[in-house]
């Protein structure tokens, strides 16, 4: 699995071919070194079609589509702040005070596409898209019109994560039944309590 | 009849039996299972019917695709919540007398997948089970052992009296309510008339 | 058959075409003898002809991914056994490969050889059984399946003597394999490899030229190369459509670059080609087996520095894939630096191969649907996970 073309080159080619598209390279620090490209919503379908049809890239095979859940995170950091403190002698004095500051990083849902080229035999090229939030705006453009292999996997991400893929031809629940209310693969999913009836020592 | 007299008579070529024995002898040697595979265990069930293990020796090789013609349901594999209503419905469609073998850890209790949100923690929550076989998956020998156990159970069933089996009691149910899909899981989560979990009470 | 005619529908469609008959909507499955497990197809029929077909999944969705995300990296291995429960060895390998990529774990030489041997044995028994099941669906009750299972049992015995389990081998580990194989075991594997072509000859004599088989499969369920690539079809099904893409040649994972073998390709992409591809692949697998068994070196079987319990890969992600008997089996792992994967995703080949089921079945008879589905080679444990 060699990455014949680097992500920087792909990003440059993408931005040249699809005017206005914004892509960001996300580094992967693990030994696999499979870096990914975060692309924006508006141009996603055009970018995907470019990647598929470009003669140098020919990423004709979308292998794997995964949903990922990133819930709200709270980062606690210690910051040194200059503060004016009144000393016991009654003088105002500037001092360095350590403060804990909490930053809330809003959560989002992510779809990860692993692309390969059957014709050129290279890959993987990893595409990512992120939703605005995990609630009502969990929407992404569907890439099924470009790669049909995404059809069932996007449905699965919709079913288990609640990502609404706009432009998907047949977006229904796929593994759970119609009428199921939860998104069970999300990190904050709690299974119903009735399941805990079991032989327990009292 | 006196056993010694029976043996004595058989020496003269006269075979005696009771109606109950004859009836059970016939039933136990022609158990027709339902063609019904759920998961991994189903492959071992198929292996059991193949030449090497040859389930035909027990008169049980005639797998029927229709529940109307089957006597035995082998619940071979994980029953998910999405599948459970179908399993109960199939059971209801089988004519009496009918038997159930819960094959493998999943069918008994959910097994390794017990923690799954879509996994039913044992089919005995909705239908009565006659024989449980542990294993993941049980070997074909274990399934054959379950068959022999079931045959013994059938052989011991009485036609009359208080001890007679369920299918001979007019007021006992032969069908069980089919659970429905709810918003978070199956409703009801178990059938209290059927499901009697063992509880370790007190200390 | 328990296919249920659920409703007679579509009055407006009927009046639009001018009434000759009625359209039927049939629900095949989830309990149906030909659906290879608990799989359902909602089929709309005009007489005998299929006008629409929608697969319905999830009847064996047992939450493999959720469970693996809550368990350690090691604890997921026995669950991978139960994905495609006919091929536990290759599933183990796919997962081990992904973890090795994620954490940068080397694999000793001998372990690589053992992996190839067990994986190719798995491929043999999977393809043999699949052909048996396919013929069973065509109405050849029992006989071909019995032949296949006879051979399969020999391979399962081999697995059992190596790992202790017939089906759920739980054998491979990231960084190698769990137990070493003895020279007697290698000899037994050699015996199977040498006698397998004889079984294949016998099997082919029984089936390949059979008139009924040809009539039922040739020209049925044809799949074009363009559609196959776009729909992400992999494995024997893709190669039956004439696309040369075998990960053993493309990625050369493990030590596959050391063996000489060919990749059989089909011309028509129909059910018959898929059947032939699998037969030819088995012959190639035997070649790989012979070469691997002749060249296997002595040495360690697992990387001594790898911590199996409590493995904590650096934060990052990896996608690893192998050529499973059913197609490209991939595992996508995201690590957040803790002992369990943050995201664990399986790329199930048999589920994605079903994408084109409707395209292959449209306009065919109901009886063909059964055959086409059989030729896809699905295992519900993997489709639904």
pLDDT above 50 for A155: yes
Say yes or no: B199 contacts chain A, CB-CB below 8 A.
yes
Q: Could you name the CATH architecture of A7-69+108-201?
A: 2-Layer Sandwich (3.30)
SS3 C44: strand
Q: What is the pLDDT of residue C254?
A: 87
B184 and A182: CB-CB below 8 Å? yes
Q: Which residue in B170, B79, B168 sits closest to B126, CA to CA? A: B79
Nearest CA in chain A to C101: A32
User: Does C73 or C23 have the greater pLDDT score?
Assistant: C73
The structure tokens listed for B97 are 């007398």
Q: What is the pLDDT of residue C3?
A: 44
pLDDT in tens, B79-90: 999 989 989 999
User: Of the candidates A29, A61, A64, which has its C-beta nearest C332's C-beta?
Assistant: A64
Q: Which residues of A touch B184 (CB under 8 A)?
A: 180-182, 192
Q: Which residues of C touch B115 (CB under 8 A)?
A: 63, 66-67, 70
Q: What is the pLDDT of residue C171?
A: 92
Provide the sign of the torsion angle of the four alpha carbons C28, C31, C33, C38, taken in this order. Answer: positive
Q: What is the pLDDT of residue A201?
A: 40
> Confidence class of residue C349 from pLDDT cuts 50, 70 and 90?
very high
pLDDT above 50 for B203: no
pLDDT above 50 for A1: no
> Confidence class of residue A85 from pLDDT cuts 50, 70 and 90?
confident
pLDDT in tens, C124-175: 999 999 998 888 888 887 788 889 999 999 999 999 999 988 989 999 998 8
Percent pLDDT > 70 in chain A is 94
Nearest CA in chain B to A198: B197
Domain boundaries, chain B: 29-156
- Structural contact between residues C71 and C306, judged by C-beta atoms closer than 8 angstroms: no
Residue B41, annotated ligand binder?
Answer: yes
User: Of the candidates C230, C234, C330, which has its C-beta nearest A147's C-beta?
Assistant: C230
For range B54-70, the mean pLDDT: 86
pLDDT in tens, A18-42: 888 888 888 888 888 888 889 888 8
CA C146 to chain centre: 20
Chain C residues whose C-beta is within 8 A of a chain A C-beta are 57-58, 61, 63, 65-66, 101-104, 227, 229-234, 243, 245, 250-251, 253, 313-321, 328, 330, 332, 334-335, 343, 345, 347, 351-352, 354-356, 384
Q: What is the pLDDT of residue B172?
A: 82
A176 and B197: CB-CB below 8 Å? no
For range C334-342, the mean pLDDT: 90
Q: What is the pLDDT of residue C111?
A: 92
The DSSP secondary-structure symbol of C182 reads: P
Percent pLDDT > 90 in chain B is 22
> Confidence class of residue C236 from pLDDT cuts 50, 70 and 90?
very high
The structure tokens listed for B153 are 């159970």
C384 and A66: CB-CB below 8 Å? no
User: Of the candidates C315, C317, C347, which has its C-beta nearest A63's C-beta?
Assistant: C347
CA distance B2 to B20: 16
CA distance B80 to B78: 6
Nearest CA in chain A to C347: A64
Q: What is the pLDDT of residue A20?
A: 85
CA angle C304, C306, C309 (to 5 degrees): 120
Q: Which residues of C touch A148 (CB under 8 A)?
A: 227, 230-232, 355-356
In this complex, how many residue pairs, one in chain A and one in chain C, have their CB atoms less than 8 Å apart? 109
Domain boundaries, chain A: 7-69+108-201, 73-106
pLDDT in tens, B139-192: 999 999 999 999 999 988 888 888 888 888 888 888 888 999 888 888 888 887
pLDDT in tens, A169-202: 988 888 988 888 889 998 888 887 755 555 444 3
**Lowest mean pLDDT, pick from A33-47, C13-27, C219-233:** C13-27
Q: Which residues of A touch B183 (CB under 8 A)?
A: 179-182
Task: State ipTM.
Answer: 0.86
> Confidence class of residue C33 from pLDDT cuts 50, 70 and 90?
low
Q: What is the pLDDT of residue A200?
A: 43
C232 and A61: CB-CB below 8 Å? yes
CA distance B47 to B49: 5
Q: What is the pLDDT of residue A17?
A: 85
The structure tokens listed for C248 are 């053993």
Residue B136, annotated ligand binder?
Answer: yes
> Confidence class of residue C188 from pLDDT cuts 50, 70 and 90?
very high
Asked: is B29-156 a CATH 3.40.50.12280 domain? The reply is yes
User: Of the candidates C57, C103, C352, which has its C-beta nearest A31's C-beta?
Assistant: C103
Q: Give the gap in angstroms from C-alpha A156 to the nearest C-alpha of chain C.
A: 10
CA distance C140 to C147: 12
CA distance C348 to C82: 12
> Confidence class of residue B17 from pLDDT cuts 50, 70 and 90?
confident
Q: Which residues of C touch A34 (CB under 8 A)?
A: 317-319
pLDDT above 90 for C194: yes
Mean pLDDT of chain C, nearest integer: 87
Q: What is the pLDDT of residue B167?
A: 83
User: Of the candidates B65, B116, B139, which has its C-beta nearest C66's C-beta?
Assistant: B116
> Confidence class of residue A2 from pLDDT cuts 50, 70 and 90?
very low
Q: What is the pLDDT of residue B189?
A: 81
User: Of the candidates A61, A66, A175, which has its C-beta nearest C61's C-beta?
Assistant: A175
Say yes or no: B42 contacts chain C, CB-CB below 8 A.
yes
Q: What does chain C come to in residues?
A: 385
Ranges of beta strands (E only) in B18-161 are 72-76, 99-103, 131-133
CA distance C101 to C303: 14
Say yes or no: A185 contacts chain C, CB-CB below 8 A.
yes
SS3 A196: helix
Q: Which residues of B touch C37 (CB under 8 A)?
A: 37-39, 42
Q: What is the pLDDT of residue C138?
A: 85
User: Of the candidates A66, A174, A185, which has its C-beta nearest C58's C-beta?
Assistant: A174
Say yes or no: B118 contacts chain A, CB-CB below 8 A.
yes
């Amino acid at each position: 699995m060699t990455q014949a073309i680097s992500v920087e080159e792909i990003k440059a080619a993408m931005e040249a071919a699809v005017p206005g598209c914004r892509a960001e390279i996300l580094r992967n620090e693990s030994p696999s070194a499979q870096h990914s490209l975060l692309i924006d919503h508006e141009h996603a379908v055009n970018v995907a079609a470019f990647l598929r049809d470009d003669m140098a890239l020919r990423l004709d095979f979308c292998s794997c589509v995964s949903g990922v859940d990133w819930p709200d995170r709270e980062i606690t950091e210690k910051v040194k702040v200059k503060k004016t403190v009144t000393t016991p002698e009654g003088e105002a004095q500037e001092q360095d005070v350590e403060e804990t500051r909490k930053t809330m990083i809003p959560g989002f849902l992510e779809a990860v596409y692993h692309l390969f080229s059957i014709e050129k035999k290279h890959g993987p090229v990893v595409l990512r898209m992120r939703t605005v939030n995990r609630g009502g705006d969990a929407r992404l453009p569907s890439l099924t019109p470009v790669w049909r292999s995404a059809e069932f996997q996007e449905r699965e991400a919709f079913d288990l994560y609640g990502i609404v893929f706009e432009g998907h031809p047949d977006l229904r629940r796929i593994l759970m039944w119609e009428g199921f209310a939860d998104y069970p693969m999300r990190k904050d999913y709690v299974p119903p309590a009735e399941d805990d009836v079991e032989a327990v020592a009292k | 009849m006196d056993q010694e007299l029976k043996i004595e008579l058989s020496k003269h070529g006269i075979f005696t039996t009771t109606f109950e024995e004859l009836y059970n002898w016939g039933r136990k040697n022609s158990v027709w299972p339902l063609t019904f595979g759920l998961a991994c265990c189903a492959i071992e069930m198929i292996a059991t019917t193949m030449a090497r293990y040859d389930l035909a020796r027990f008169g049980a090789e005639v797998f029927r695709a229709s529940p109307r013609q089957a006597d035995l349901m082998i619940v071979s594999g994980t029953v998910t919540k999405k599948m459970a209503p179908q399993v109960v419905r199939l059971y209801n469609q089988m004519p009496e007398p009918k038997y159930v073998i819960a094959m493998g850890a999943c069918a008994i209790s959910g097994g390794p997948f017990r923690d799954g949100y879509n996994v039913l923690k044992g089919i005995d929550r909705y239908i009565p089970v006659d024989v449980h076989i542990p294993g993941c998956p049980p070997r074909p020998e274990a399934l054959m052992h379950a068959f022999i156990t079931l045959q013994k159970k059938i052989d011991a069933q009485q036609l009359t009296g208080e001890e007679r089996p369920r299918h001979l009691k007019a007021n006992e149910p032969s069908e069980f309510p089919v659970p429905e899909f709810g918003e978070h899981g199956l409703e009801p989560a178990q059938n209290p008339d059927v499901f009697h979990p063992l509880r370790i009470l007190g200390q | 058959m328990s296919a249920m005619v659920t409703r007679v529908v579509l009055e407006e469609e009927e009046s639009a075409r001018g009434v000759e008959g009625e359209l039927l909507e049939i629900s095949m499955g989830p309990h149906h003898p030909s659906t290879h497990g608990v799989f359902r197809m909602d089929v709309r029929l005009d007489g005998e002809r299929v006008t629409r077909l929608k697969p319905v999944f999830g009847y064996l969705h047992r939450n493999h991914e959720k469970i693996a995300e809550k368990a350690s990296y090691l604890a997921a291995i026995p669950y991978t056994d139960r994905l495609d429960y006919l091929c536990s060895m290759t599933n183990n390998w796919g997962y081990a490969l992904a973890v090795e990529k994620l954490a940068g774990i080397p694999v000793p030489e001998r372990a690589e050889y053992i992996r190839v041997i067990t994986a190719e044995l798995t491929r043999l028994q999977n393809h043999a059984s699949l052909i048996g099941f396919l013929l069973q669906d065509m109405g050849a009750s029992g006989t071909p399946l019995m032949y296949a299972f006879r051979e399969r049992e020999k391979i399962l015995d081999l697995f059992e003597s190596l790992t202790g389990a017939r089906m759920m081998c739980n054998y491979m580990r990231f960084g190698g394999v769990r137990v070493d194989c003895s020279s007697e075991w290698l000899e037994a594997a050699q015996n199977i490899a040498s006698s397998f072509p004889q079984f294949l000859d016998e099997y082919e004599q029984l089936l390949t030229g059979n008139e009924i088989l040809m009539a039922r499969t040739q020209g049925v369920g044809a799949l074009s190369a363009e559609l196959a690539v776009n729909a992400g079809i992999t494995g024997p099904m893709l190669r039956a459509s004439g696309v040369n893409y075998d990960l053993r040649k493309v990625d050369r994972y493990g030590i596959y670059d050391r063996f000489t073998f060919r990749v059989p390709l089909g011309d028509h992409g129909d059910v018959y080609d898929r059947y032939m591809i699998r037969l030819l692949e088995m012959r190639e697998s035997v070649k790989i087996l012979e070469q691997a068994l002749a060249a296997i070196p002595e040495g360690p079987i697992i990387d001594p520095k790898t911590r199996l319990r409590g493995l904590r890969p650096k934060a990052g992600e990896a996608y690893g894939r192998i050529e499973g008997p059913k197609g490209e089996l991939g595992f996508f792992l995201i690590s957040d630096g803790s002992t369990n994967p943050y995201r664990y995703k399986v790329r199930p080949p048999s589920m994605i191969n079903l994408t084109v089921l409707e395209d292959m079945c449209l306009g065919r008879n109901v009886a063909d649907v059964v055959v086409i589905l059989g030729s896809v080679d699905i295992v519900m444990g993997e489709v639904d996970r």
